[in-house]
Each structure stands twice: as structure tokens, then as C-alpha cells.
Amino acid sequence: MNVIANPHGAPKSSDWQDVAYYESLKACDRRHWAWLWSRRNQDNRRLSEDRLGLKRWTQLAPSVWFLKSGRLDDLFRAGHYVFPGKGPQEHPDARLFWRPDLDPCVIDVHAEPTDVSNPLAFDLARFRDKATVLLDPTNREMVLFSEGPRHLQLEVRSGTLVKGPVQLSFSLDGVAHMALRTQVLMRLSVLSESAKMPFALFPPARRGRWWSEALRAHDAECAGATQREIADFLYVRISERPAWKGQETLLKNRVRQLLIAGKKAINGDYLQFLL
């Protein structure tokens, strides 16, 4: 499958003391945070194993995958995201297609064939290292551009991007989430001009430090760490200081809050990161 390695690939829960990994997450945007939490949901993991196996897909080109039977809509209805390959626990950096009705940053596009000399031409061949395309027997087409943890997802409503240069037009119905969608169009414009997806156009999620601590606390608990051990590590081993007794209740309460927030995020609140 078309997988890109990046520094945000999740470690095993037993590696919860990996400082560099959790520090790197503070720079992640909201879409990537939705992925980080959703992949820790056991139901999502089982669904991925049950319905997204390689036997369902034919690879037409290095970045183009065709669903041999059924429809992409059916896969999306069974869960919140799709990618052609093994379960996300085995490929944490897989290029992930979110269900369009859940992610307002998925942009509808219409593609008209054009000549490569057209200054408005958009040629998918320029982005083969970044693009992944999903097709199904009903001619449903979805395109994802990825660079590390940064993603840009399109749904092709008419025409196709896989048969040469096209001129794109866009559907932005209504005013809901207009700011998010306008930002996506800016990202697509920069990608078209420079073939890059700069960090500056993917701002970090709010409260990134808090969510990084919550994710680490969850992974630590899964690895068998106690709340005291988690507090020790997160808060510079305060237990070694004389002030620990006075701070113990406060710090354990903070760890409990992190764990509660993590459980809520895993059990469905991860979708709020998409909004």
C-alpha cells in the first residue's frame, strides 16, 4: 500500500516514556489528532481488520487502488474511515480517508479534461509521491494528498483525476465550516504551485500539550503504569522532591483528568477534532 513514514507513527503503549514521540505530537493538526485517538479504539481496529484487507483491493498503479466489489459508501457506512491495506495498528502512518460527512475539510471537486499547456491545469502525475486514489465499481473517486502527518482529501464528483491534466472547480455549499474549507483550498493552491504541504498551513491543534499528556497517560495505563508512576514521569519526578506529599492529591487528580479525557476521545469524541 502507499504508506509514508513520519515521526508521528505511534509507538507501542509500552514505549510511553518515549519523550521525543509525545513532544512531536504537539505540532499535529486536529485531523491527525482524530486519527491518533481513533486508532486506539478497539472496535475501529477490529473493523479495519474485518473489512479493509488487501483482498478487497486491486492496485491499478502505485498510488491508485480499486475496490473490487461493493462500494466505498458501504465501507464508510461501516466505520469512520477507509484505507486500502492492513489494520491501522500495523500501519499507523497509513494514508487515511475520513468519511466525507464527518470531516468538513473534505472538498468536493469537478474535473474537466484540459491540455497540459493550460495554466490552470492540475496534473495528478506531479504528485505521485503524495497522492493516493480510491476508486470503486460505481466510479466513485476519492483522492488524498499526504506529506507526513499533513493530509488533504478531495471527493471527485464528476470527471476523474487519474487520466491526465484537468481543470478543477469546487463545490462549497452553504456557509457551515467555510473557514475550514477555505483553508483547505489555500493548501491545495500551495500544493499545486509548489508540490509541497508546508507546516504553516496546518496549524497545531489547540491544547496540544494537554492532549499529548492525555495520550501518554492513556498509553502508560495500558502498559500497566500506576497513576503515581504517570505523575512521576509527566511532572519531572516530583515524587523525589520534599513537596511531593503536599502535591500528591493534586497531581493524581490531574492524571485522572487526563485519563478521563483520553477515554472520552477514544470512545467517539475523536470526531470532534475534525470540526
| Residue 132, beta-bridge partner list | 144
Half-sphere exposure of 85 (CA within 13 A, CB side): 18
Q: Which backbone phi and psi does 135 adopt, to 5 degrees? A: -130, 155
DSSP 137: T
pLDDT band at 162 (very low <50, low <70, confident <90, very high): very high
- Residue 12 covered by a domain: no
- Residue 67 covered by a domain: yes
- pTM for the model stands at 0.83
Q: Provide the number of structural domains found in the chain.
A: 1
Least confident of 23-32, 39-48, 192-201, 235-244: 235-244
Per 3-state DSSP, the chain is made up of helix, strand and coil in percentages (nearest 5) of 45, 20, 40
> pLDDT digits over 218-258, tens only?
999 999 999 888 988 888 655 455 555 667 778 888 999 99
- CA dist 72 and 133 (Å) reads 12
Q: So what's the pLDDT on residue 144?
A: 94
- Residue 252 covered by a domain: no
- Residue 74 covered by a domain: yes
- CA dist 131 and 145 (Å) reads 4
Q: Is the pLDDT of residue 2 over 50?
A: no
Q: Provide the domain limits for residue 109.
A: 29-201
Residue 155 burial (CB count, 10 A) = 17
- CA dist 260 and 255 (Å) reads 9
- Residue 46 covered by a domain: yes
